[in-house]
Structure 1
Amino acid sequence: MGQKTHPVGFRLGIIRGWDSNWYAARDLPVKLVEDEEIRRYLATRLRRAGLSRCVIERTLKSVVLTLHTSRPGVVIGRSGSEVEKLREEIKKLTNKEDIRININEIKRPELDAELVAQNVAQQLEGRVSFRRAMKQAVTAAMRMGAEGIRIRVAGRLGGAEMGRTEQYLEGRVPLHTIRADIDFAQATSHTIYGSIGVKVWIYRGEILGQPDLSPNIQAQRQQMQQQFQPPARKRRGRRSRDGDQAS
């Protein structure tokens, strides 16, 4: 019987890079556990900040964290106060003094599977109808340019006595096409009736050619586009035949 593979792990090294970038000889297990502790801590600490990914890069004496979030103001805080607190807390976890934190804003959170799954899970905890939450997420993703999206929820939906699975699918989600840029995430909603699992697949088009697998390539592209974007021209009014400028 065929089993489902993870859409992100299936494409690692082909069209998607790794979220942990460092080299270790003997202390590989220690660093892996440390990375997992950092991600769990950030997921709890920044639960309301729209945190999607945490890319961890290490050198001999420093740790560089790149946080991909839809609400950078919550992470930064007033005059950078929250970032400084976060840096001090990460120092205690890693026992390293040089901690660098970069923040990348996600411009279109409707196309990020992790943020969509978190949003649906939070709505279910707020007693919103699961059909309404799923339908809103599907509509928003397709409106923002997704070529396909699938959302699946499982558990005691609506407080039913027996658990079941419901899903919405719009567009196409080609899981077997390796060049297809498919983002996948799962979240858990803790309701008064029990836990409800949420899974989200978003198809954002195909990636052709040899892609750059650096972990923060999308953030770098956004920064380059903002730097080289030409300034908007001022709109001038038309002149009438009498020589007066029309408004």
Structure 2
Amino acid sequence: MKERIFIKESIQHLEAKEFIRKKFSNAEISEIDIKRTPVGTRIVIHTTRPGMIIGHAGSNIDSLTKELEKNFDIKNPQIDVQRVNNPDLDAHIIAQKIADAIEKGVNYKRVGNFYISRIMDAGAIGCEIVLSGKFSGERGRVARFLSGYLKKCGDTSDKLVEKAFAVATPKLGNVGVTVSIMLKPIKPILNPAKSDKSDVKSEPVKPAEQEAATEKAGEAKENSSGEEKSEKIEKKSKESKPNKKKAQTEKKK
């Protein structure tokens, strides 16, 4: 029974996201996050035009909360609108713009090359745009536009690659738009002392240099041992001289 409840809630959330996108189609919405909280349901809308969603004195948000409660059975929705700082690096916004351009009749090659160069100029490591559908005839085709370096699998692709999908509906038929953008990773800040130590590299020692070093060490040990022996002999000679003098004085007496 619990699984059915979770499935029902996820379907309601998907329908609510589609409803918000259709209602504010001109607002360039990127992502919509819906999460349950102990107080109610928190809805975060990321967009490049927050004023269109908020409305005059929050009128659009008030009407949206009432519609979500009535049509989708979302309890106490709390809507938060956030601005997207760099829309050229947002895969959702780029995919929607490409779909709108194809619906208006712009050539698909021109659209793909234009947005590829725009994404790379914004600072992405790599990007890919895939268009599949009927562009200029009855037969469907696939057009792929690539630039830079893009990971297709692995942990780096999950963390750094942002993917989005949109559908264009021109007269000939539907066209699918898939956009993948690889962003720059955030590097950790290192301590200056540690970084200086890591920069110092130890050069490999050659065998001839090793032999010379061992010979010098052996000579130094021999010299030190010879000096120690001479010091011991001198001490013994000094100790023996006063003993001889004492013996001579005793004989005279």
The reply to whether TM is greater than 0.5 is: yes
1:174 and 2:151 aligned: yes
Pick from 123, 126, 132 the counterpart of residue 101 of structure 2: 123
CA contact (8 A) 1:179 1:208 kept: no
1:163 positional shift? 1.3
Mapping of residues 20-99 of structure 1, within 5 Å: 27-96=5-74, 98-99=76-77
Partner of 2:84: 106
1:60 positional shift? 4.2
Q: CA RMSD in A?
A: 1.9
Instruction: Please tell me whether Structure 1 or Structure 2 has the larger radius of gyration of its CA atoms.
Output: 2
Deviates most, 145-154 or 57-66: 57-66
Q: Which has the higher strand share?
A: 1
Deviates most, 89-98 or 103-112: 89-98
Partner of 1:204: 183
Aligned residue pairs total: 185
- Aligned-partner Cα distance in 2 for 1:64–1:93: 17
1:177 positional shift? 3.6
Specify whether residues 34 and 170 from structure 1 end up closer, same or farther in structure 2 by C-alpha distance, changes over 3 A only.
Answer: same
Deviates most, 68-77 or 25-34: 25-34
- Aligned-partner Cα distance in 1 for 2:75–2:94: 35
CA contact (8 A) 1:189 1:196 kept: yes
1:70 positional shift? 1.4
Mapping of residues 202-241 of structure 1, within 5 Å: 202-206=181-185
Mapping of residues 136-155 of structure 1, within 5 Å: 136-155=114-133
Once the two structures are superposed, what CA deviation does each residue of 1:42-98 show, in whole Å capped at 9, x if it has no partner? Answer: 121122111111111112451110001111111111221111111111111343552
CA contact (8 A) 1:34 1:93 kept: no
- Aligned-partner Cα distance in 2 for 1:54–1:112: 13
Extract unaligned runs of 5+ from structure 2. 189-253
Q: RCO (CA 8 Å, sep 6+): is it higher in 1 or 2? A: 1
CA contact (8 A) 1:51 1:67 kept: yes
Identity %: 26
